[in-house]
Structure 1
Amino acid sequence: MFIVAKAMLYVCFALLMGAFILYSVPRESRPEIFFSKKLILLLIVFTPLFGIGELIRLTMHLGEDFGYWMTFQNIVFSFEVGKGWLFLTGISVLLFFMVLFNDIKEDRFFAGLVVFLTAGMGISVGYASHAASLESLGFLAHSLHFIAVITWSGVLLVSGYFSKGEGPNLSFYKWFTPLAVGCLVTVIGAGLWLMNYIVPQYVNSYLLDYGQALLIKHILLLIIVVYSLINGIWLKKRLKEGTTGIALNKWIKAEGIFLFLAFVTTAVMTQQTPPHDVADTLKMEEPSKLFTLFSGIVPGENPMLFFNFSMMSLVWLAGAIVLVLSVFASIKQNKSMVLAIVASILAAGAIYLAVMSSVSL
């Protein structure tokens, strides 16, 4: 339940940020989107409702001895996660009434203003994050990472799933391509920064559920980058030449599916113990069943993983490359989106198996 709430929180953030950004650019520089005010208001209401899931989880974990209501109050007013949620709720209320009493679709200045308010809501997530509790700069790293993710994914999701016609035009790509590149660089840079705090033993973390989820998230990000290159470079070039013959929206939607899967994986990570020291964490938790199943390794008391590429890992990697090329061929020939998505999932699975067959003790 908490994983679903967390994933939907990310979706709400992304859709709000994407809609506000698109409404803040000139009409001719965006696809024709149909995103009703009622839907925007619902997303604003749902954001703090989904955000309260972490507070409820902590209350259920800590409240058995002291009473659940007293524990909940203490968490809200004393814990950083509670203060972050109060800040999120306060901005949500302000945003709700601003959108209710203004025409966001016609007022670009107002749309730009609420983009900054939504970013402020994103900062509240960084303030309540685990990284912020470890290091003061962890707050900045998480906030940058989160805002970059919802900006990039939000514009894509709204453009793909809430637009009319064949898809974006060249005017859209002129501003979105540099924005997407900036967001990607920020996501990677801030992500590495966060890992330095949370997962200093990255390869060793594969032994744990948190590390497995993080690895799967990174593989999904790799698949998303492949789609971004196809959508943002190759299809853009075809559009400029006037020779697409391809429904751009279809492939933006395909990329959006993997963005959602990345949201779900991130939500799973929030329910796991961050492995600051893998050996110590293994004293309290069992090794990941996924790890033991696909690597065949049973860790000892003080495990230390390292990469040792084998013929099998190279075979899996070659299979992944072939599958990625087949995705590009499917898009080039404008075939079924389902076919491309299945090939992409298989490619992600092949990359995962290549990694798992490469680790040794």
Structure 2
Amino acid sequence: MSAFLGELLVYMGGALWMGYLVLCFIPRKRKPPLMDGTSWAVAGLGMLVLGTSIPVFGAVRFLLSTQTMTEALRTGLLLHIGQMFLVIYFSALLLLIVFAWQKQRSILLALLTIPLWIGIAGTSHAAVKYGALGWTLQCSHFLCVTAWIGVVFWVAVGARSTAHWSAFLNWFSPFARIAFTGVILSGLLLMQLAIPLERYTNLWGVPYGQALLLKHLLLLPLLFYAFCNGTLVRRRLRFDSTYDPRPLLRMESIILILLFMASASLSRLEQPTLGQLPVSGPAGDGWVLMIGIATLPLLLLGFRRHALGVLLSLLSVSLIYLGLLATG
């Protein structure tokens, strides 16, 4: 449970911080009026430090059975995970100092975020197992995820009005497409490092693969809401300037939080080796899968009734998930 909580804090904190940072570089006329998010950005940094400290404290607690508190703490910080935590801690501390400085700081904040993100990527399994390549891919993956999702979070929750919304979509839609492409490419390459993509369906026979499948299926309603918030909302604003797109963006944020939770759940599970994968998945009846696929068009109801759309998204994803596990 602690590993899950730590990963969730890292994802949420990273999104809060990166969304704030990206929006710092956007002129006021190209984004809706936003609340003062300094406190939330600081909270995001705190979540990053807290989330990455959890495995360090776990290592220290384990070492306490054979060492004193001082020795265990020193040994824990000298481990790879401890060294990465120190990079994250001091990077976050420097960022807070810049905040307290109260000067033009966007570029400086961006520069100090680089070692912060490198440290976070260094705590991943990919960095430990696959060295520089895994480290680079994980850093790219985390950067794209937090930049894209962070902006969605900030605008969904922090927008005070819908002013300049069309101008916001003009830059954010291509930005989101680029970030999403980066997420997919880096994610596929990270998967390929561990398990060949042609063995993907065999992963469904182990808990790690089942959690990974759920994460991937959540992309279906996410893509639907992204299409609504990008293309359909832009068209509607041309004819109805009073339309408020914020509730729909908040529904997308809920799906994104569920996606973060699915990603965090992977931290509790051991990544299997090729030898641990079943040769073939279970062969079952495909009626559950067909029902799940048939419910996907119902997501269109979510364009007007947003809460219903989220519930239908969960229904479709759940049925497709169970159907795929059953048919393998």
Compute the displacement of 1:174 (Å).
1.6
- SS of the equivalent of 2:270 reads coil
Q: Distance in 2 between matches of 1:26 and 1:213?
A: 40
Q: Which residue of 1 aligns with 2:28?
A: 27
Query: Which runs of structure 2 are paired with 1:56-67 in the superposition (5 Å)?
Result: 56-61=57-62, 63-66=64-67
Q: Does 1:233 align with 2:231?
A: yes
Q: Deviation per CA, 1:151-177: give whole Å up to 9, x if none.
A: 000000000011112476121112111
| Unaligned stretches of 5+ residues in structure 1 | 280-301
Other-structure match for 1:357:
326
2:205 and 2:281 in contact (8 A); partners too:
no
Pairing 1:347–2:316 present: yes
Q: Distance in 2 between matches of 1:222 and 1:244?
A: 29
Does the aligned pair in 1 maintain the 2:29–2:164 contact within 8 Å? no
SS at match of 2:295: helix
Query: Structure 1 residue 330 and structure 2 residue 302: aligned?
Result: yes
Distance 1:311 1:261, change over 3 A: closer
1:4 matched to 2:9: no
Of 86-95 and 166-175, more deviation after overlay is shown by 166-175
Counterpart for residue 56 of structure 2: 55
- Map of 1:1-361 to 2, 5 A cutoff? 1-2=1-2, 3-61=4-62, 63-66=64-67, 69-77=70-78, 79-103=79-103, 107=104, 110-136=105-131, 137-166=133-162, 169-200=165-196, 201-239=199-237, 241-243=238-240, 246-277=243-274, 279=276, 303-306=278-281, 311-321=286-296, 325-331=297-303, 334-335=304-305, 337-359=306-328
Aligned residues: 324
Q: Distance in 2 between matches of 1:177 and 1:119?
A: 24
**TM-score normalized with structure 1 length:** 0.82
CA contact (8 A) 1:131 1:138 kept: yes
Q: CA deviation at 1:227?
A: 1.1
Residue range with higher mean Cα deviation, 230-239 or 248-257: 230-239
Structure 2 partner of 1:292: none
Offset of 1:307 from its aligned partner? 8.2
Output the amino acid matched with 1:51: T
Q: CA deviation at 1:308?
A: 6.1
Distance 1:134 1:115 in 2: 28
Sort the Cα spacing of 1:54 and 1:230 in 2 relative to 1 into closer, same or farther, 3 A.
same
Task: Tell me how large the CA RMSD over aligned residues is.
Answer: 2.3
Question: What is the TM-score normalised by the length of structure 2?
Answer: 0.90
Deviation track 1:90-138 (CA, whole Å, cap 9, x = no partner) reads: 11011001011125xxx4xx22442343343122111221111221200
Question: 2:292–2:317: 8 Å Cα contact kept in structure 1?
Answer: no
Pair 1:226–1:115, CA change in 2 (3 A) = farther
